[in-house]
């Protein structure tokens, strides 16, 4: 029974990962792509790891490692996205031409 | 000093979990590694150790912040999935300002990370002096401070204020 639940978690995680990669291809600019990549891949991978935890039989060697990987992933992936997007903006990469507003560029003009 | 001791305990616990099931050799190696880590990095681990042991804050964190966060994360995924699959790609992106009253490092970090993992928003930069977060929003509803606070900040800021800021716990 617990194996089946674990498999369901792994399946759900895989489909979210696929959607995240699809977003990476379809969305127009680096910021929108980061949105898809960060959110879907974080939850997708966490779900796969949680499924691994269940399938491997709970608190075993593998299970513990999967759980701790979830914590590190949730802490690290938004920080990475933050660093990439800030770096991209500072390097002068423009937003998609149909973007409505860019307050960050407005505020930065004064300081530069 | 207190921060270093906490760092040592934390690093050692993580080591034990990573090398489960621990034996004597691994415990000695883990102790050495945790000691090095806590000497080098320990001073920046926690600035205010008393906050970590406040049961009310821990309780709020585990039973209020974490469930809301997981719920918002799941919603964010369906939101992105919908926008990606939809043939017309209903997006209207832009970078907006969000004013925040949080002051502490931990609070700001958690706010920025929570915003990044919740529906349609991604933190691009933080200006600590003015208390402004720049947020890439996949579907801009409005740019004035009230709208951005209502749509983005109001979900997390009040609870993070209770958990991480001084003087407001009761």
Chain A residues close to B138, C-beta within 8 Å: 32, 35
C-alpha angle A64/A70/A75, rounded to 5°? 135
> Given this model, what pLDDT does residue A12 score?
92
pLDDT surpasses 80 at B12: yes
Tokens 């995680």, residue located:
A13
β-strands B121-127, B132-137 pairing: antiparallel
Chain B nearest-CA distance from A52, in A, is 15
Q: Is there a domain that residue A110 lies in?
A: no
Average model confidence (pLDDT) across chain A? 84
CA–CA distance, B15 with A89 (Å, rounded to integer):
37
Query: Is the sign of the CA dihedral A13, A19, A25, A28 positive or negative?
Result: negative
B91: which chain A residues are within 8 Å (Cβ-Cβ)? 27-28, 32
Token digits of residue B161: 């204020």
Specify if A20 maps to a domain.
yes
- Give the mean model confidence (pLDDT) for residues A12-32: 87
- The CA dihedral of B139, B142, B145, B149, to the nearest 10 degrees, is -40
* Model pLDDT, residue A101: 72
DSSP string for residues in A9-45: HHHHHHHHHHHHHHHHHHSSSHHHHHHHHHHHHHHHH
Nearest CA-CA distance, residue B14 and chain A, Å: 8
Q: Is the pLDDT of residue B59 over 50?
A: yes
pLDDT in tens, A31-63: 888 888 888 888 899 999 999 999 888 778 888
Of B17, B96, B117, the CB nearest to A103: B96
Q: Give the mean pLDDT of B91-113.
A: 81
At B104 the pLDDT is 78
The residue among B94, B83, B128 whose CA lies nearest residue B109 is: B128
pLDDT score for B51: 66
Residue A31: list chain B partners with CB under 8 A: 93, 95, 122, 124, 136
What are the residue boundaries of the structural domains of chain B, listed by start? Answer: 2-46, 50-164
A75 → chain B, closest CA residue: B113
- Is B87 within 8 Å of chain A by CB? no
- Residue in A39, A85, A101 nearest the CB of B94: A101
Confidence of residue A110 (pLDDT cuts 50, 70, 90): low
Number of domains in chain A: 1
Task: Domain of residue A26: give its range.
Answer: 2-94
- DSSP for A35-98, please give it: HHHHHHHHHHHHHHHHHHHHHTTSSSHHHHHHHHHHHHHHHHHHHHHHHHHHHHHHTTPPPPTT
Answer whether A38 sits within 8 Å of B18, measured CB to CB: no
Across the interface, whether the CB atoms of A103 and B14 are under 8 A apart is answered no
Q: In chain A, what residues touch B121 (CB-CB under 8 Å)?
A: 35
Summarize pLDDT for B115-150 with one digit per residue, the tens.
Answer: 888 877 888 888 877 778 888 888 777 777 777 777
Is residue A75 domain-resident? yes
pLDDT confidence of residue A59: 79
Tell whether A109 is covered by a domain.
Answer: no
Q: Which residue has the tokens 């990962």?
A: A17
- Scanning every residue of chain B, which has its alpha carbon at the shortest distance from the alpha carbon of A34? B122
For residue B170, what pLDDT band results from cuts at 50, 70 and 90?
Answer: very low
Q: Is residue A30 a part of any domain in this protein? A: yes
CB spacing of A29 vs B93 below 8 angstroms: yes
**pLDDT above 90 covers what percent of chain A?**
19
> Residue A47's pLDDT is what?
92
State mean pLDDT over B69-80: 86
Q: What percent of chain B has pLDDT over 70?
A: 92
Confidence at residue A74, expressed as pLDDT on a 0 to 100 scale: 87
Q: What is the pLDDT of residue A37?
A: 83
In this predicted structure, what is the pLDDT of residue A13?
92
Taking the CA atoms of A96, A16, B97 and B127 in sequence, report the sign of the dihedral they define. negative
B13–chain A Cβ distance below 8 A for any pair:
no
């Amino acid at each position: 029974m617990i194996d089946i639940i674990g498999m369901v978690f792994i399946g759900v995680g895989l489909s979210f990962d696929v959607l995240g990669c699809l977003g990476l291809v379809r969305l127009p600019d680096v910021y929108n792509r980061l949105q898809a990549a960060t959110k879907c891949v974080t939850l997708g991978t966490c779900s796969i790891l949680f499924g691994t935890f269940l399938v491997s039989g709970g608190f075993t060697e593998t299970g513990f490692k999967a759980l701790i990987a979830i914590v590190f992933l949730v802490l690290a992936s938004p920080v990475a996205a933050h660093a990439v997007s800030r770096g991209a903006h500072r390097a002068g990469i423009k937003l998609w031409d149909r973007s409505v507003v860019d307050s960050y560029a407005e505020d930065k003009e004064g300081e530069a | 000093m207190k921060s270093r001791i906490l760092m040592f305990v934390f690093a050692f616990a993580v080591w034990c979990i990573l090398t489960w099931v621990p034996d004597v050799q691994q415990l000695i190696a883990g102790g050495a590694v945790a000691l090095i880590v806590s000497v080098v990095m320990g001073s920046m681990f926690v600035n205010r150790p008393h906050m970590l042991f406040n049961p009310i804050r821990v309780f709020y964190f585990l039973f209020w912040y974490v469930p809301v966060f997981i719920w918002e994360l799941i919603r964010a995924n369906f939101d992105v999935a919908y926008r990606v699959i939809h043939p017309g790609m209903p997006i209207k992106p832009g970078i907006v300002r969000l004013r925040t009253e949080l002051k502490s490092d931990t609070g700001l970090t958690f706010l920025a990370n929570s915003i990044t993992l919740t529906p349609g928003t991604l933190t691009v930069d933080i200006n600590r002096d003015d208390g402004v977060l720049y947020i890439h929003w996949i579907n801009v509803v409005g740019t004035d401070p009230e709208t951005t606070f209502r749509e983005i900040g109001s979900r997390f800021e009040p609870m993070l204020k209770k958990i991480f800021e001084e003087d407001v716990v009761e």
